[in-house]
Structure 1
Amino acid sequence: MTGRESYFLLVTTLVLVTILLIFAMKYVSSARRARDRIAGDTAYRELAERTLKAQEELTATLAAIRGSVTQIEGRLASVEKVLKDVG
Protein backbone atom coordinates (compact mmCIF):
# COMPACT_ATOMS: atom_id res chain seq x y z
CA MET A 1 0.00 0.00 0.00
CA THR A 2 2.85 2.35 0.62
CA GLY A 3 3.76 2.29 -3.07
CA ARG A 4 0.31 3.43 -4.20
CA GLU A 5 0.10 6.14 -1.57
CA SER A 6 3.47 7.56 -2.57
CA TYR A 7 2.46 7.52 -6.26
CA PHE A 8 -0.82 9.23 -5.41
CA LEU A 9 1.03 11.87 -3.38
CA LEU A 10 3.57 12.33 -6.19
CA VAL A 11 0.90 12.70 -8.88
CA THR A 12 -1.15 15.07 -6.73
CA THR A 13 1.94 17.18 -6.01
CA LEU A 14 2.88 17.28 -9.70
CA VAL A 15 -0.65 18.34 -10.69
CA LEU A 16 -0.66 21.12 -8.08
CA VAL A 17 2.82 22.29 -9.11
CA THR A 18 1.71 22.30 -12.76
CA ILE A 19 -1.35 24.39 -11.89
CA LEU A 20 0.80 26.82 -9.90
CA LEU A 21 3.27 27.11 -12.79
CA ILE A 22 0.48 27.85 -15.22
CA PHE A 23 -0.89 30.64 -13.04
CA ALA A 24 2.61 31.99 -12.41
CA MET A 25 3.34 32.08 -16.16
CA LYS A 26 0.04 33.80 -16.79
CA TYR A 27 0.81 36.41 -14.11
CA VAL A 28 4.33 37.01 -15.44
CA SER A 29 2.96 37.33 -18.96
CA SER A 30 0.35 39.88 -17.86
CA ALA A 31 2.92 41.86 -15.91
CA ARG A 32 5.33 41.90 -18.86
CA ARG A 33 2.55 42.98 -21.22
CA ALA A 34 1.64 45.83 -18.86
CA ARG A 35 5.29 46.94 -18.61
CA ASP A 36 5.65 46.85 -22.39
CA ARG A 37 2.46 48.87 -22.83
CA ILE A 38 3.66 51.48 -20.34
CA ALA A 39 7.05 51.65 -22.07
CA GLY A 40 5.33 52.05 -25.44
CA ASP A 41 3.08 54.79 -24.08
CA THR A 42 6.09 56.59 -22.63
CA ALA A 43 8.00 56.33 -25.90
CA TYR A 44 4.97 57.61 -27.82
CA ARG A 45 4.59 60.53 -25.40
CA GLU A 46 8.28 61.43 -25.79
CA LEU A 47 7.97 61.24 -29.56
CA ALA A 48 4.92 63.51 -29.48
CA GLU A 49 6.78 66.03 -27.30
CA ARG A 50 9.80 66.04 -29.61
CA THR A 51 7.54 66.46 -32.63
CA LEU A 52 5.76 69.39 -31.00
CA LYS A 53 9.07 71.03 -30.15
CA ALA A 54 10.31 70.54 -33.72
CA GLN A 55 7.07 72.06 -35.10
CA GLU A 56 7.48 75.09 -32.83
CA GLU A 57 11.08 75.56 -33.99
CA LEU A 58 10.03 75.23 -37.62
CA THR A 59 7.27 77.78 -37.11
CA ALA A 60 9.77 80.25 -35.64
CA THR A 61 12.20 79.62 -38.50
CA LEU A 62 9.44 80.07 -41.06
CA ALA A 63 8.44 83.38 -39.46
CA ALA A 64 12.06 84.57 -39.65
CA ILE A 65 12.29 83.53 -43.30
CA ARG A 66 9.06 85.37 -44.08
CA GLY A 67 10.49 88.52 -42.46
CA SER A 68 13.65 88.21 -44.54
CA VAL A 69 11.66 87.70 -47.74
CA THR A 70 9.55 90.76 -46.94
CA GLN A 71 12.72 92.84 -46.50
CA ILE A 72 14.16 91.49 -49.75
CA GLU A 73 10.93 92.31 -51.59
CA GLY A 74 11.08 95.86 -50.25
CA ARG A 75 14.66 96.29 -51.36
CA LEU A 76 13.90 94.79 -54.75
CA ALA A 77 11.00 97.18 -55.21
CA SER A 78 13.36 100.07 -54.40
CA VAL A 79 15.92 98.81 -56.91
CA GLU A 80 13.20 98.42 -59.58
CA LYS A 81 11.99 101.97 -58.93
CA VAL A 82 15.52 103.35 -59.26
CA LEU A 83 16.04 101.40 -62.48
CA LYS A 84 12.76 102.68 -63.92
CA ASP A 85 13.66 106.26 -63.01
CA VAL A 86 17.10 105.93 -64.61
CA GLY A 87 15.85 104.13 -67.71
Structure 2
Amino acid sequence: MSWKWEYAFGAEEAARTAPPDFLAELGRRADELVRAAEAVHVHGRAHEGTDPKGGDVIIPGGMFTYQVVIRSERVHVVQITYLGF
Protein backbone atom coordinates (compact mmCIF):
# COMPACT_ATOMS: atom_id res chain seq x y z
CA MET A 1 0.00 0.00 0.00
CA SER A 2 1.26 3.49 -0.65
CA TRP A 3 0.42 6.77 0.98
CA LYS A 4 -2.64 8.64 -0.31
CA TRP A 5 -5.12 11.22 0.87
CA GLU A 6 -8.89 10.91 0.86
CA TYR A 7 -11.99 12.59 2.16
CA ALA A 8 -13.47 11.23 5.38
CA PHE A 9 -16.86 11.58 7.03
CA GLY A 10 -18.87 14.55 5.76
CA ALA A 11 -15.95 16.21 3.97
CA GLU A 12 -16.73 14.33 0.78
CA GLU A 13 -20.24 15.73 0.77
CA ALA A 14 -18.94 19.25 1.42
CA ALA A 15 -16.48 18.88 -1.47
CA ARG A 16 -19.37 18.43 -3.90
CA THR A 17 -20.49 22.02 -3.32
CA ALA A 18 -17.10 23.75 -3.17
CA PRO A 19 -15.70 25.54 -6.25
CA PRO A 20 -13.17 23.67 -8.41
CA ASP A 21 -10.30 26.13 -7.80
CA PHE A 22 -10.71 25.75 -4.03
CA LEU A 23 -10.71 21.97 -4.34
CA ALA A 24 -7.65 22.07 -6.61
CA GLU A 25 -5.70 23.99 -3.96
CA LEU A 26 -6.96 21.61 -1.28
CA GLY A 27 -5.68 18.71 -3.38
CA ARG A 28 -2.26 20.32 -3.82
CA ARG A 29 -1.91 20.91 -0.08
CA ALA A 30 -3.15 17.41 0.76
CA ASP A 31 -0.55 16.00 -1.66
CA GLU A 32 2.13 17.92 0.26
CA LEU A 33 0.89 16.43 3.52
CA VAL A 34 1.04 12.95 2.01
CA ARG A 35 4.64 13.45 0.87
CA ALA A 36 5.62 14.74 4.32
CA ALA A 37 3.90 11.86 6.14
CA GLU A 38 5.51 9.33 3.82
CA ALA A 39 8.95 10.81 4.48
CA VAL A 40 8.51 10.86 8.26
CA HIS A 41 6.76 7.50 8.62
CA VAL A 42 8.75 5.30 6.26
CA HIS A 43 7.47 2.05 7.80
CA GLY A 44 3.84 3.14 8.11
CA ARG A 45 2.16 -0.28 8.10
CA ALA A 46 4.50 -1.52 10.87
CA HIS A 47 3.85 1.53 13.09
CA GLU A 48 3.00 0.60 16.69
CA GLY A 49 2.34 3.93 18.35
CA THR A 50 -0.43 6.47 18.34
CA ASP A 51 -1.20 8.59 15.32
CA PRO A 52 0.00 12.21 15.37
CA LYS A 53 -2.38 15.02 16.09
CA GLY A 54 -4.07 16.34 12.95
CA GLY A 55 -4.24 19.96 12.02
CA ASP A 56 -5.82 22.77 10.09
CA VAL A 57 -4.55 24.13 6.78
CA ILE A 58 -5.62 27.59 5.64
CA ILE A 59 -5.96 27.97 1.89
CA PRO A 60 -7.39 30.77 -0.27
CA GLY A 61 -11.15 30.71 0.22
CA GLY A 62 -11.23 28.75 3.45
CA MET A 63 -9.52 25.88 5.23
CA PHE A 64 -9.53 22.15 5.83
CA THR A 65 -8.82 19.86 8.76
CA TYR A 66 -6.82 16.68 8.34
CA GLN A 67 -5.79 13.60 10.31
CA VAL A 68 -2.86 11.29 9.55
CA VAL A 69 -3.50 7.56 10.07
CA ILE A 70 -0.08 5.95 9.88
CA ARG A 71 -1.02 2.26 9.82
CA SER A 72 -3.41 2.89 6.94
CA GLU A 73 -0.89 5.15 5.20
CA ARG A 74 -3.60 7.77 4.72
CA VAL A 75 -4.11 11.46 5.24
CA HIS A 76 -7.83 11.97 5.82
CA VAL A 77 -9.44 15.33 5.07
CA VAL A 78 -12.09 15.33 7.77
CA GLN A 79 -13.60 18.81 7.40
CA ILE A 80 -13.77 21.44 4.69
CA THR A 81 -14.72 25.04 5.38
CA TYR A 82 -15.29 27.20 2.30
CA LEU A 83 -15.76 30.86 3.16
CA GLY A 84 -15.63 32.30 -0.33
CA PHE A 85 -13.01 34.99 0.28
Structure 1-normalised TM-score? 0.28
Structure with more of its chain in strand, by fraction? 2
Structure with more of its chain in helix, by fraction? 1
Greater CA radius of gyration, 1 or 2?
Answer: 1
Structure 2-normalised TM-score? 0.29
Flag the structure with more relative contact order, 1 or 2, with Cα contacts below 8 A and sequence separation at least 6: 2
